[in-house]
Structure 1
Amino acid sequence: MQELIFTVFITISYVLTPGASGATSLFNVVDYGAVGDGKTDDSAAFSKAWKATCNAPSRNPILIIPATKIFLLKPVTFSGPCKPTSIHVLMSGNIVAPNSKMAWKGFHINRWLAFTHVNGLTIIGSGTINGRGAAWWSQPCLHKVPKGVTCKGPTALTFYSCNGLVLKGIRHINSQRNHITISNCKDVTFSNLHISAPKTSPNTDGIDISGSSNVQILNSFIGTGDDCIAISSGSSHINITGIACGPGHGISIGALGAHGEDTVEEVHVRNCTLKGTMTGVRIKTWQGGVGNARRISFEKIRFIRADSPIIIDQYYCPSRVNCKNETSGIRISDVSYRSIIGTSTTDKVINLSCDQNVGCTNIQFNYVYITSTVPGKKAYAFSFNAHGNYTHTRPVVKGLQAYPGEEGGYLKKDG
């Protein structure tokens, strides 16, 4: 209903002010040759419609992807910069990827749909983006490759250097690899998204953020085969609120330090529920890196049968082969965990494995209560070279200092 009202409004605005420089103009992909039968390649039509929208003389052009249709798209990039200061995409219809990986022949294999250098972009609607990723999950390479070569497959939806970006209401399923990647963007708001893929689908992260700032991810469901949200180097002022995550690998910062200097700061995760995830909230860094992960908070988090709810891992080495032990490491500091409750399917519910040389500083636990669902096992916390304080926390984090007046992780007046 909101989309209908929005469409009627912009149509009336256009009709009442024809030819005006500030008028809203509409660009329907069907008018540029898109068929929308789910079988015909509509890539060229979408590219034509985008070019017209991007070069529109009006200030607020609208690209319309109409309802009741399914548009098959090969890899396509929607490039800017554009003439209008803002562009709206009203996505009521559905978009699907080709069934065959060979559709990527001649294209960059690392992406399917991409928006680059488009400022003031808003994509809103109830449509679905279906990556049909099953063909990529077992073998992410396009062709047979020599032994030792690693392929990653395409990211379904990429935003690169798009400032003032809004994505709202879209449903995104079964991506080939990452569902959505945000890279080198500023002032981003994602809300009311539904992102899903089977828990067995490899590397199907929900949202990946790198080199970006002032990003808000709000009120969304994400259940995939990898991280629900992953935050990588160069990102700052990231606010994640109201996320239902699971299945998946939780909400992660890192891994940082694999290729030199990395910094992530001012990340705040609030009011989230993680259900049946492999990990909960974690910070992971490689040995030998340089940089910082700092001013990070996790507040009002609920775990429901998460395998490993709270993790700081400065010895990240997923292959478990030739893992290094270096003298340098990413500095982790000013990390707080507050008002966190829930259950874990393991007994090690808190794991702070900090670098033996650098360590973690100013780690704060306040009102954290996590229990284990393992029969006969009591939840415990592991801490190595982590420094900070705790209060009202169970299990007790013995490597940290209890606030004055505490005994066994509780203030004495609480019993």
Structure 2
Amino acid sequence: MWSTTVAAISDASSYNILDFGGASDGKTDNAKAIKSAWVKACSSQGKNSVLIPKGTYLSGPVLLEGKCNGPITFQLQGLIKAPIDVNSYSWFSFSHVDQLTLTGGGAFDGQGQKAWANNNCDKDPNCKLPIYYLAMLVEEILITALMFLTFVDLHQSVRFDFVTNSVVQGISSINSKAFHMNVLGCKDLKFISVRISAPENSRNTDGIHIGESTGISVAHSIIGTGDDCVSIGPGNNDINIFDVQCGPGHGISIGSLGKYTNEEPVRGVVVQHCTLIGTDNGVRIKTWPDSAKQGIATNLTFDDIIMKNVQNPIIIDQQYCPFGSCNEKKSSLIQISKVKFNNIRGTSASSVAISIICSKTFPCSDVELSEINLKYNGGDTSSTTANVKPRVSGQIFPSLPPA
């Protein structure tokens, strides 16, 4: 099912950033050299590549735009470091590129330690949140402009905006200031064998965040952060997460959904053959109460998942309100349906291994659990449900409360 190698690009011209004034001294700002090499490769006919050879490079923000005249490879063999300055926002941005291959075994180092201390989005409801929430409200060109001109508080390492038919393979991202990799408006984009890491106390360092995209895959990857390993926002279709090791972090999440008006539905998410180790949550769906507008999340499958000392292994939370800024007495308006939890086993770090709390206004429908075996080392394991009548088959441990 999954290809684990990137096909060799034959008859390609390679543009080495060292030939455009780049330097691997760890001090020179290579942003201009990288941009120049990209423009040359992108404007040339046929298959071309940008090469960042082995070494350590400093670079300020870089916007790498299409449309290119053919397939293009960004061959990162070295280590690129972001400025320590927390005023450096979106760092590397690939925009409107078709047939991009990002590979080479190198790494992006966001140097985010200083930024984490200033990032308070987990506590402050007025902090600036990811711009993808505006995607439903304005034209594509305006979205792109806003992403680069007004994105203030979330210092993303690598952005993929309107990238199509592309592959990211064998690349690492470490210590991002906030999101490591952000996907917006993309189609048929694969992440294969990526490694993402940041300490568990690094705020809002989501591994891969996906918004308003179709046909996105994350496979054979290791992700450990201070937030969600993979987060799937509104407007996504046909998302596949396969063979991902997650931890530390907040788990693999769909949502949060329902905070903003005109959010598009989430349809068709499969999380399969994954392992979560020591995370705050396992597989999670989260929606806001007091939703801005009615929405949909449907055809969601979690299959063949191993939990190792996970705080909340299986969770649907339609009362998600982390800032205390919403009216928790009002129900979520997000309709969750056609959800399957199958073959999920391992250990829970809390006594409540299964928590499915749905909306009073729109109860979850067509929720199925089968072959669940989650044990709590501290004693008995329990489960809790509300506003849902799940179907069960096979072994279910802990058992669900009576409907």
- TM-score tier after normalising by the smaller chain length: 0.7 to 0.9
Percent identical residues = 35
Name the structure 2 match of 1:404.
none
Residue 353 of structure 1, aligned match among 341, 346, 357: 357
Q: Which one has the largest radius of gyration?
A: 1
State the match for 1:70 in structure 2.
56
Q: Is the 8 A contact 1:384 1:399 kept in 2?
A: no
Q: SS at 2:389's partner residue?
A: strand
Q: Counterpart of 1:129? A: 108
AA in 2 matched with 1:120: Q
Deviations 1:80-119 (A, max 9, x none): 11121x11112111111112235x3xxxx3x111000011
| Aligned equivalents of 1:184, 1:148: Cα separation in 2 | 25
Q: Distance in 2 between matches of 1:129 and 1:113?
A: 9
Equivalent AA in structure 1 for residue 118 of structure 2: Q
User: What is the aligned partner in structure 1 of residue 400 from structure 2?
Assistant: 397
TM-score w.r.t. the length of structure 1 is 0.85
Q: For 1:335 and 1:147, how far apart are their aligned partners in 2?
A: 30
1:112 correspondence with 2:91: yes
Decide which of 311, 328, 345 is 2:315's aligned counterpart.
311
Matched with 2:140 is none
Q: What is aligned with 2:149?
A: none
Q: For 1:351-400, what per-residue CA distance to the aligned partner results, in whole angstroms no more than 9, with x for missing partners?
A: 011011211011101000101122xx310110001122112211111255
Task: State TM-score, norm by structure 2.
Answer: 0.88
Instruction: Tell me what 1:334 maps to.
Output: 338
Distance of 1:261 and 1:44 partners within structure 2: 39
Please tell me whether the aligned partners of residues 385 and 399 of structure 1 are also in contact (alpha carbons under 8 angstroms).
no
| 1:172 matched residue in structure 2 | 173
Say if 2:368 is the partner of 1:380: no
Q: What root-mean-square deviation, in Å, do the aligned CA atoms of Structure 1 and Structure 2 show?
A: 2.0
Show the counterpart of 1:413. Answer: none
Which residue identity does 1:276 align to in structure 2? G
Cα distance between partner residues in 2 of 1:181 and 1:149: 18
1:213 equivalent to 2:201? Answer: no
Q: Which residue is equivalent to 1:97?
A: 82
Tell me how far apart the structure 1 counterparts of residues 401 and 353 of structure 2 sit (CA, whole Å).
13
Find the aligned partners of 1:336 and 1:388 in 2 and give their Cα distance.
10
| Secondary structure at the counterpart of residue 138 of structure 1 | helix
C-alpha distance in structure 2 between counterparts of 1:338 and 1:308, whole Å = 16
**Alignment partner of 1:366 out of 350, 370, 382:** 370
Letter matched to residue 290 of structure 1: Q
Runs of 4+ more than 6 Å apart? none
Question: Cα deviation per residue 1:164-211 (whole Å; 9 max; x = unaligned)?
Answer: 120000111000000000110000110111100000000000000000
Deviation for aligned residue 1:63: 1.0
Confirm or deny that 1:61 pairs with 2:48.
yes
Which stretch of structure 1 is more off in the superposition, 220-229 or 132-141?
132-141
User: 1:407: which partner in 2?
Assistant: none
- Structure 1: unaligned runs, 5 residues or longer: 14-22, 401-415
Indicate conservation of the 8 Å contact 2:319/2:331, yes or no: no
Question: Residue 372 of structure 1 contacts residue 379 of structure 1 at CA under 8 Å; is this kept in 2?
Answer: yes
| Structure-2 residue corresponding to 1:50 | 38
Gaps of 5+ in 2: 129-151
Distance 1:149 1:357, change over 3 A: closer
Residue 148 of structure 1: how far off its partner (Å) = 5.5
Distance 1:65 1:165 in 2: 19
Equivalent pair of 1:383/1:399 in contact (CA under 8 Å): no
Please tell me whether the aligned partners of residues 279 and 306 of structure 1 are also in contact (alpha carbons under 8 angstroms): yes
Contact 2:277 2:310 in 1 (8 A): yes
Q: Is the 8 A contact 1:340 1:368 kept in 2?
A: yes
Whole-angstrom CA distance in 2 between matches of 1:349 and 1:257: 25
Aligned residues, how many?
369
8 A contact 2:180–2:196 mirrored in 1: yes
Give the AA of the match of 2:258. G
2:144 maps to none
Judged with a 3 Å threshold, the aligned counterparts in structure 2 of structure 1 residues 260 and 153 are, in CA distance, closer, same or farther, namely closer
Q: Give the distance between the partners of 2:331 and 2:75, measured in 1 at CA.
A: 52
1:266 equivalent among 256, 265, 268: 268
How far did 1:290 drift?
1.2
**2-structure distance, mates of 1:368, 1:147:** 36
- Asked whether the 8 Å contact 1:387–1:399 carries over to 2, the reply is no
- Where 1:308 maps in the other structure, the secondary structure is coil
For the Cα contact (< 8 Å) 1:291–1:331, is it kept in 2? yes
User: For the residues of structure 1 that align with 2:377 and 2:156, how far apart are their CA atoms?
Assistant: 36
Q: How does 1:13-28 map to 2 (within 5 A)?
A: 23-28=11-16
SS for the counterpart of 1:164 is strand
